[in-house]
Structure 1
Amino acid sequence: MIAHLRGTVAHRDAETVVVDVHGVGYLVHVADPSGVPPVGQSVELHTSQQVREDALDLYGFTSRAGLATFELVMRATGVGPRLGLATLRTLSPDAVRTALATGDVATLTSVPGIGKKVAERLVLELRDKVGSVADLSGAGESPRAARDATTEQQAREALRQLGYREGEITHALADAPADAGVEDLVRHALRSAGARA
């Protein structure tokens, strides 16, 4: 089981990264490509290895919270790695856990591929498991941990309308204050995106 990779970015595109570890290239599907360093720089990813009859895939996350939330979502009936990855391309780990804990179906249905019935099933099956996963993933260390999921979702929607992609939005909001309102989150994201441009 491959649970962790540390190496050099050999290639990256909109959905995957190739990590060179001592001459071996590992293809990793990532939730936030914009959070991965440029080609030639070192990278560290927490990974989940998924084995099927016809494939062996790696899914990578820059934080333990991302990995833990991905694996939490996949505990639900009928949810596979692609839907788990789509969830974390749309919402931050904290927003996913908050939505599950509070039964916020509207936030969950903002994920492509998750309709109302699937969202309700996620809440029903995972609500009681959120606490233990939050402990394992280091929740409370991130400034987003206490942020209201609805506030973050409204800020994300505003940034989408401005033309930002999901990965860029997640990265830009990563260190925003937990008590920020929608307008403050949007301003923070714009400043963060401008600083990286």
Structure 2
Amino acid sequence: MIAQIRGQLIEKVPGHVLVECAGLGYELDIPYTTFFHLPDTGQEVALYTHFAVREDAQNLYGFAARLDRDLFRLLIKVNGVGPKMALAILSGLDAQQFVRCVDNRDVAALVKIPGVGKKTAERLLIEMGDRLGQLEGHSQIGLQTPNLAVSPEATPAYKPEDEAEAALITLGYKPQEAAKAVSRVAEKGMNSKDMIRLALRNMIPAN
């Protein structure tokens, strides 16, 4: 079991990172809530991980906070929810928002996440309501984050607006939806991380 990885951040794109550790390069799928906390490439990064082995693939998933990793593990136990959907949920809602969503039985917030229909949302609220007690060991949500100091974003290879739109499209939003969401929040001098964060906040309002 690979529980955590610490090494040099070689590459980062929305949804994926490459981390070099002891001469080996590890590719990890990550939610956007983790992407927001990443330092610049070339710096050290530490991520909690979940290693999944299937007959046709081996996948490593990375999370900035232990709570997010543990919540991911609970999500993939829900009938009809696989790793891809679990990452989408944790990209649209951070752990604290998701817990509030379950407590408030907020179906509307969940169905705004790409790939989550009404039936799946209702199933999530029922099953996760019974399972969230397993996270009680984390007395204060969000304080399990490793030391991932966020540095000023390096100069992107293309416009921040383009990177933000591409990130939303990767998450499952339609190109027109992504472009519209980014245009609403984009301001001069804003980096792509802030655009993605604000666009998602508008598309999936916090409770």
What's the TM-score, normalizing by structure 1? 0.71
Distance 1:21 1:44 in 2: 10
Aligned length: 158
Structure 1 regions of 5+ residues with no counterpart?
143-158, 174-181, 186-197
Counterpart residue identity of residue 14, structure 1: P
Q: Describe the shift of the 1:12–1:102 C-alpha distance in structure 2 as closer, same or farther (beyond 3 A).
A: same
CA RMSD of aligned residues (A): 2.7
Tell me if the contact between 2:67 and 2:142 (Cα under 8 Å) persists in the aligned partners.
Answer: no
Structure 2 regions of 5+ residues with no counterpart?
144-180, 187-191
Aligned partner (choices 179, 182, 185) of residue 162 of structure 1: 185
Counterpart residue identity of residue 53, structure 1: E
Aligned partner (choices 49, 59, 63) of residue 61 of structure 1: 63
Q: CA deviation at 1:98?
A: 1.5
Distance 2:141 2:14 in 1: 30
Aligned partner (choices 89, 92, 95) of residue 91 of structure 2: 89
| Residue of structure 2 in register with 1:19 after alignment | 19
Tell me if the contact between 2:12 and 2:18 (Cα under 8 Å) persists in the aligned partners.
Answer: yes
Counterpart residue identity of residue 106, structure 1: A
| Residue of structure 2 in register with 1:42 after alignment | 44
Greater fraction helix: 1
Q: Describe the shift of the 1:141–1:3 C-alpha distance in structure 2 as closer, same or farther (beyond 3 A).
A: closer
Percent identical: 33
Q: Which has the higher contact order (CA 8 A, sep 6+)?
A: 2
SS state at 1:136 partner: coil
Q: Describe the shift of the 1:82–1:108 C-alpha distance in structure 2 as closer, same or farther (beyond 3 A).
A: same
What's the TM-score, normalizing by structure 2? 0.68
Distance 1:45 1:26 in 2: 11
Distance 2:131 2:44 in 1: 34
